[in-house]
Structure 1
Amino acid sequence: MDIEEIYNFLEKSQGVSRSKLSPKADLCSDLGIDGDDFFELAEDFASKYNISMNTYWWYFHHSEEGFNIGALFSPAPYQQVERIPVTPEVLLLAATTKTWPISYPEHKINSRRTENLINKIIIITLLGFAAICALSQFA
């Protein structure tokens, strides 16, 4: 196992240009892998190299996909911690040791209940408004 195998994996799974790859390239900020793409990368990587991801905390490494109105009022998990970059070097270490190699600082993530409640209220309100508009057209 060497860094070239990690580069090949990133090229094939994420379409990353070889010219952008270096051992210390940050998958998010340097290579543009974020949100759902990062989730998929982590799952595919763990599966391909048989890596235990029991100690992996996604919110230290990337954001969520899409716009989350509730996060404007209650921060999402990735907004509550300082980001830790994942690099090809980190992936190589994970593939070599078969375990996630990053130790995270002590932290506490606020419950997402407020964020989820706000999102539900907004969705219900919008659906109600849409229903009223649709019904008013038949009146």
Structure 2
Amino acid sequence: MSETRRELSAWFADFSRETLTLDGEADLFALYGIEGDDAFEFMDAFVNRFDVEVDGYRWYFHHAEEGMNIGGWFFKPPYRRVQRMPITPDLMVEAIDGKHWPVQYPPHDLPTVRWDIRVNQMMFVVPVVLFSLWLWNRFVA
């Protein structure tokens, strides 16, 4: 086992309180149930610990978002528009050794507006506005 893999394994055990699988091709996020905010925290901790440059990291290739996304029923969120790519111990070792995120993502297009999020926002705003108008009409006007 390389020194980098030992350091990664020790960091992973400290971060997750679990022993890192030694299978270099294991899908860590799927294996350990890392999704949404946990995945963002995982990557932030990884970057801070190993000083890896991740400007090219595209989260939506690796994990979903957290929480209920009703707008996602009508408009695909980014992670459903691309094929998922696993984050493996081998990939992380390569990132640590090279000090940059080594994944070359396939060409893809994402809309400039997250319509799924807009639907979610409207589901909150419209009832609040309608309720406010009802209150105004009932007690002020």
Using structure 2 for the length normalisation, give the TM-score. Answer: 0.84
Task: Show the counterpart of 2:98.
Answer: 97
Asked whether the 8 Å contact 1:25–1:31 carries over to 2, the reply is no
Q: Which amino acid aligns with 1:104?
A: Y
Q: Whole-Å Cα distance in 2 between the matches of residues 107 and 81 of structure 1?
A: 7
Which of residues 5, 10, 15 in structure 2 aligns to 1:8?
A: 10
Q: Whole-Å Cα distance in 2 between the matches of residues 10 and 134 of structure 1?
A: 53
Aligned length: 137
Which structure 1 residue ranges, 5 or more long, are not aligned? none
Structure label with greater radius of gyration: 2
Using structure 1 for the length normalisation, give the TM-score. Answer: 0.85
Per-residue deviation, 1:30: 1.2
Identity %: 31
Mapping of 1:1-139 within 5 angstroms? 1-15=3-17, 17-18=18-19, 21-22=21-22, 23-128=24-129
Asked whether the 8 Å contact 1:76–1:112 carries over to 2, the reply is no
Q: Which amino acid aligns with 1:111?
A: T
Q: Whole-Å Cα distance in 2 between the matches of residues 126 and 69 of structure 1?
A: 15
Q: Which amino acid aligns with 2:15?
A: S
CA shift digits 1:27-52 (9 cap, x unpaired): 22112111111111111111111111
Q: Secondary structure at 1:44's aligned position in 2?
A: helix
Q: Whole-Å Cα distance in 1 between the matches of residues 128 and 13 of structure 2?
A: 42
Q: Whole-Å Cα distance in 2 between the matches of residues 4 and 135 of structure 1?
A: 64
Per-residue deviation, 1:85: 0.2
1:130–1:34 CA distance, 2 compared to 1 (3 A): same
CA shift digits 1:92-125 (9 cap, x unpaired): 1101100001111111112334223211210013
Q: Whole-Å Cα distance in 2 between the matches of residues 51 and 87 of structure 1?
A: 15
Q: Whole-Å Cα distance in 1 between the matches of residues 129 and 35 of structure 2?
A: 33
Q: Whole-Å Cα distance in 1 between the matches of residues 29 and 70 of structure 2?
A: 22
